[in-house]
Structure formats: C-alpha cells, structure tokens
Amino acid sequence: MKLIFIRHGKTAGNLRKRYIGQTDEPLFSTGISELMGKSYPDCDLVIASPMKRCVQTAALLYPDKEIFMIPDLRECDFGDFEGKNYQELSGNPDYQKWVDSGGKGTFPNGENPQAFRSRCIAAFRKVIMEHADRTSIAFVVHGGTIMSVLEAYAVPKDSYYAFQVANGNGYITEYDGEKITIREQI
C-alpha cells in the first residue's frame, strides 16, 4: 500500500518558530502559496488531523476528495510552552529541563511525549486496519505525527527527530503490513 505523509502548510506560528500544538491556527498566506507551488501524488483516501491547518492543507491538495478527520492524529499538547518560541522560553528552568531530556520529558501542563507518540501510532494502525483494501492513502497531519509513525514503522530504523520535515513537505512510502519503506521525499 502506498502511504503519503504530508505535513500541513505554514501557519503564522510556524513562521515565528512557535510551539503550535493544540492552538487551532489556520494556514498563513505564505503557506497556501507554497503548497500551491508544489505537486503532490494522488491517492484513494485522504486522512487528516482535525486541526484547521491540516484540514485546509488537505482541501487545497485534494480538492475533489472527501477528507476523513481522525482526532488522535492531532499534534502534541505543548502545555506551558504552547504559543511560545525558544527565545521566549530561554531561561525558563522547565524548558531547559525538557531540552536536557532530549525532548523526552513531559511538557509542563501538557502531554507526555511518549503518550503522544502512542496515540498517533494507535490512530495510524486503526486507519490502516479499517482501510486495508485501499491502494494509496494520504495522511495530511503534523510534523510530530509523521515522526511518531515513521519512528515506529520505517526501515531502516531511525530516531524520532530523523524524520522531521518542513511545512508542506513529507514522504511517499510503501507499507507492506509490517514496515514502511520511504521511497522519496516530497
């Protein structure tokens, strides 16, 4: 099965390098322009996070397809870091503790990163099981969602952060029922 993973287009928060997880920002005009300047592969089914930035991206890229929203594919809840960037968090002991943990620590008043990854992987598995008859599925989601799924399934194995992609970019992959092989980057 061909799986296409696409990170949503840019938002105002992305431009300012803010942690935007649960904030339901729409796409920024620059993000829309960048998306329209690229080509994306066709698919049988479009799956998206229910966040505005993902739904808008999916509608722009696949205007003739129905979009199925999966709540558990939404981005991580960054808690007290939500809406802030690294400059604004500089000097914050909680932020420094999180950085020192290699990004594995729980966000203060937010989501535990491992719980987030588990949530995304479970949602991905459910989609795959429910749509096993499809030949190609596009997932229009968040960077963290893509990294979670690929860390769990991609071969060769690599770390979570190895699968980071910029807004509007992603991966064209092949899924054999057990592992994901990356064919090319978008």
120-178 tens-digit pLDDT: 999 999 999 999 999 999 999 999 999 999 999 999 999 999 999 999 999 999 999 99
Please give the helix or strand (H or E) that residue 119 lies within, else none. helix 113-130
Task: Give tens-digit pLDDT for 96-108.
Answer: 998 898 888 888 9
Tell me what pLDDT residue 91 has. 92
Query: In the chain, which ranges are continuous DSSP H helix?
Result: 12-15, 29-36, 52-61, 86-89, 93-100, 113-130, 143-153
Tell me what pLDDT residue 62 has. 98
Q: What 3 state SS string does 47-61 have?
A: EECCCHHHHHHHHHH
Tell me what pLDDT residue 102 has. 83
Tell me what pLDDT residue 140 has. 98
Tell me what pLDDT residue 172 has. 98
Tell me what pLDDT residue 72 has. 98
- Residue 138 CB neighbours (<10 A): 26
Whole-angstrom Cα distance, residue 46 to residue 169?
Answer: 16
Number of alpha carbons in the 13 Å side-chain half-sphere of residue 184: 3
Domains of the chain: 2-185 (3.40.50.1240)
* CA dihedral over 28, 150, 138, 41, signed as positive or negative: positive
Count of residues for the chain?
Answer: 186
Tell me what pLDDT residue 186 has. 94
